[in-house]
Chain A
């Protein structure tokens, strides 16, 4: 007797709504303008976020556990959707200036988000891989969509390195399957809790290969080289998307795999610690030398990868909560900062740091908002970036990585210097003519910026409004499902 497959669409609801947005963008694009599509997609994102509330505490699953709509997935999906919402709002204003204002842009964006959500909801390595590939392929297209040499170069670079990363990841998945005989997170976790010596070498190899693959996706040094070129070369709204939503999704995958399935597997912790140390040093020191503000933000994204990954070294309970808190804060502040760049830049290569001089006297609201974002990125209280940093320091410290916490503290000094320089330039009086695009200040972008600034301030003063959701340790002990 053939077993009917365990198909349940309710846990898939958030993903399906986004997919519906993507499909409708593909089809309706023939008849309506892109602006209308963007509004439809904004609706889809909002609906999807509301459906997360519907699934809260339901611990639903589908396809025999391959897809998990547990609380961890819902929280991560919320962060992904927040980033998407901010991206969509920014593209309303800047897509036409960036010459990417056609329906395919929206369709690709929504397909990418579908992939991102699948990663967060994944219950086994195959769903993870499918999500990752949907996300990556859409991302390659997004980076190339603008018909300029710079965009093409960055897209090609992204594609080649991303493909290599994916290949390594798939190889790692195969190894893990070979060692444990399963692709399901729960089964892998069960197998690795009692280690079988003859398979350990293969398991360690698989874990490390997967680590390399993920390191490509989140830009951990030394696999970060594509980031500055891609973030710098792609249109700013795409950089915004890649550096927030895509990165959040990749971290969601890492959390599922490393803090969930492979939690008890040996070896990867110390390698990850070394990668983080390298990332902190390389990212922060390289950002120090940048003259282009957008490139500096790209390197700062690399540096933040190092901080974010520190959470994976903590116990799943402390680390999961810290990572999810930090991811939301990181999304809010990075998206708001890049939204301001997108609004005020004259060309897609962003603005140079000296051009920011005296911005306060020309666009006071944007200047103050940018200063708040930079202060938050630097980790200065009372903004939320501080608590994000504090939580990951604490997670790593508690689990015995004191040296890494100290290294992170020291490299943060460099970070402060490069965030501070532009932040202070904003307020210095300036008599030269303005060098930014004068008409960039528009309502949807301002809305994005306001969301980011209000978000980091509110989360900084009362971290509990988000942290109380993610703090429950029970969410993170069940990362593998079941």
Chain B
């Protein structure tokens, strides 16, 4: 057992340890401890990346039930774990300054980070489920403690949708093992004991229920806008919520290898749903006057793209989907934080404030740059993702690719309209003076932007990381 075998486990549980540590840390050092733990986690992730990803680590967790603790961080999972660690660090940086008495929030961010990295690292179906549910609890608590007046309804909706899906997935998980006859829930064993025939389709549908809620895919998306709208103004819970969109990843890592025939069979329907989700969300986003709801629907639209890429089962498209999934977290997360900064200054989340740019040029400029990343302007990471998805999906279904392509125009429309009415136009008479970015706020918006530009211009490191993993997964389809 070498140290590198332990690195993924360390990366998963370090934040949770920090979260518990915060409960006993004196108030004066809390921010520093939280920041240090988050940075350490990111460092562990970078160390794994430098080593070229980790090997599969397996330990029999509950032998009589065939449940193993199998974790591996490599390829797509490593990329997503790195993004999670990075954005958690940014969120902590902002929370420490913005929220008065931030103890519980910092604890929850770290606890959620553990759940999220665990989701990406898990190579055992039941372990995946455990982390999947674990990430839910801090998300709910953030909403409960820091939410707005309508939070109870939002919370119930969020939990009910999520659990509806994941409990059906649990039944599917049990079925995958027993009908297939695998000795354990570890992916390596399950892949050798695939379920055949119509049972595979039924189990896939159970699995899909959970992922469609998380993605979210129309018509399972109704929880999303309320969840974001009712969360704390600062946007920190929203960043964590954005990271929680693991549906695309779950479909990619588990659904394609375990249900290859069913994936091919249902491909046209699911691609259609995904394309529709992308277009529909962009259309709804256009009508929003609340920044958070707008961002929620924009995120939904991006997720439609991700789903289109994954469901198309085409190598280029799947790589694009994973690329978009990783970097969407960066720009949408950073945009939520910029909305939080805007709210702090003008006390409103309305998109028709007007004239902010005249006094807060840096905030406006960085926000605009992040929006460019979001609407897939070339030179930003979002472009590579969306373009690859469209390129790959076109080879499978040109018409659906065309519908999804229209979304990019819609995205430009809703983003620029909202940006224009908030940051440009005339400043209303008698409005308060708006302070520009101060201290760490610069870092909080500029760091994600720098990463986005870096990987938009020089995508090779990320693509090299993802490509072998995607190829390995797609071989399950038998050289499609």
Of the candidate stretches A160-168, A244-252, A300-308, A416-424, the one touching chain B is A416-424
Residue of B with least CB distance to A412: B167
- Contact: B144 with A427, CB < 8 Å? yes
Residue B436 lies at the interface, judged by CB distance under 8 Å to chain A:
no
Residue B409 lies at the interface, judged by CB distance under 8 Å to chain A:
no
Docked pose: A463 CA to B126 CA in angstroms:
14
* Known pairs A393-B170, A409-B170, A413-B163; A463 contacts B65 (CB<8 A): yes
Of the candidate stretches B133-141, B230-238, B387-395, the one touching chain A is B133-141
Residue A410 lies at the interface, judged by CB distance under 8 Å to chain B:
yes
- Contact: B63 with A464, CB < 8 Å? yes
- Contact: B136 with A380, CB < 8 Å? yes
Docked pose: A234 CA to B407 CA in angstroms:
62
Residues of chain A from 388 to 411 with CB closer than 8 A to chain B in the complex: 390-391, 393-394, 397-398, 402, 405-406, 409-410
- Contact: A397 with B175, CB < 8 Å? yes
Docked pose: A394 CA to B174 CA in angstroms:
6
- Contact: A410 with B145, CB < 8 Å? no
Distance in Å from the Cβ of B403 to the closest Cβ of chain A?
33
Residue A468 lies at the interface, judged by CB distance under 8 Å to chain B:
yes
Residue of A with least CB distance to B158: A420
By a CB distance below 8 angstroms, the chain B residues around A464 are 62-64
Selected from B156, B163, B171, the residue in CB contact (under 8 A) with A393 is B171
- Contact: B168 with A416, CB < 8 Å? no
By a CB distance below 8 angstroms, the chain A residues around B143 are 424
Residue B129 lies at the interface, judged by CB distance under 8 Å to chain A:
yes
* Known pairs A420-B159, A463-B65, A471-B64; A381 contacts B171 (CB<8 A): no
Residue B178 lies at the interface, judged by CB distance under 8 Å to chain A:
yes
Docked pose: A380 CA to B141 CA in angstroms:
14
Distance in Å from the Cβ of B77 to the closest Cβ of chain A?
20
By a CB distance below 8 angstroms, the chain B residues around A468 are 64
- Contact: B144 with A424, CB < 8 Å? yes
Residue A455 lies at the interface, judged by CB distance under 8 Å to chain B:
no
- Contact: B133 with A386, CB < 8 Å? yes
By a CB distance below 8 angstroms, the chain A residues around B140 are 420, 424
Docked pose: A345 CA to B151 CA in angstroms:
26
Residues of chain A from 436 to 482 with CB closer than 8 A to chain B in the complex: 463-464, 467-468, 471
Docked pose: A410 CA to B209 CA in angstroms:
12
Residue A429 lies at the interface, judged by CB distance under 8 Å to chain B:
yes
Question: Main SS of chain A's interface residues?
Answer: helix
Selected from A394, A416, A471, the residue in CB contact (under 8 A) with B163 is A416
Distance in Å from the Cβ of A344 to the closest Cβ of chain B?
19
Residue of B with least CB distance to A429: B145
Docked pose: A166 CA to B23 CA in angstroms:
52
Distance in Å from the Cβ of B12 to the closest Cβ of chain A?
13
Question: Main SS of chain B's interface residues?
Answer: helix
Docked pose: A393 CA to B206 CA in angstroms:
14
Residue A291 lies at the interface, judged by CB distance under 8 Å to chain B:
no
Residues of chain B from 334 to 349 with CB closer than 8 A to chain A in the complex: none
Of the candidates B62, B126, B171, the one having the most CB atoms from chain A within 10 angstroms of its own CB is B171
By a CB distance below 8 angstroms, the chain A residues around B133 are 380-381, 386
- Contact: B62 with A463, CB < 8 Å? yes
Residue of A with least CB distance to B199: A402
Residue of A with least CB distance to B126: A390
By a CB distance below 8 angstroms, the chain A residues around B64 are 464, 467-468, 471
Residue A208 lies at the interface, judged by CB distance under 8 Å to chain B:
no
- Contact: B168 with A406, CB < 8 Å? yes
Docked pose: A412 CA to B164 CA in angstroms:
8
Of the candidates A402, A413, A425, A467, the one having the most CB atoms from chain B within 10 angstroms of its own CB is A413
* Known pairs A424-B144, A428-B145; A406 contacts B171 (CB<8 A): yes
Residue A29 lies at the interface, judged by CB distance under 8 Å to chain B:
no
* Known pairs A410-B164, A464-B64, A471-B64; A417 contacts B178 (CB<8 A): no
Distance in Å from the Cβ of A380 to the closest Cβ of chain B?
5
Residue of A with least CB distance to B143: A424
Residue B160 lies at the interface, judged by CB distance under 8 Å to chain A:
yes
Selected from A380, A393, A413, the residue in CB contact (under 8 A) with B137 is A380
Residue A375 lies at the interface, judged by CB distance under 8 Å to chain B:
yes
- Contact: A417 with B159, CB < 8 Å? yes
Query: A409-B167, A427-B145, A428-B151 are known contacts; what are 19 more A-B pairs with Cβ within 8 Å?
Result: A380-B136, A381-B134, A386-B133, A391-B65, A393-B171, A397-B174, A402-B171, A406-B171, A409-B170, A409-B171, A410-B164, A410-B167, A412-B167, A416-B163, A421-B156, A424-B141, A425-B144, A464-B64, A467-B62
- Which 4 residue pairs across A and B have the least CB separation, nearest first? A409-B167, A424-B144, A471-B64, A381-B130
Seen from chain B, the residues whose Cβ lies within 8 Å of a Cβ on chain A are 62-65, 126, 129-130, 133-134, 136-137, 140-141, 143-145, 151-152, 155-156, 159-160, 163-164, 167-168, 170-171, 174-175, 178
Could you list 5 examples of A-B contacts with CB < 8 Å? A380-B137, A394-B174, A409-B168, A427-B141, A467-B62
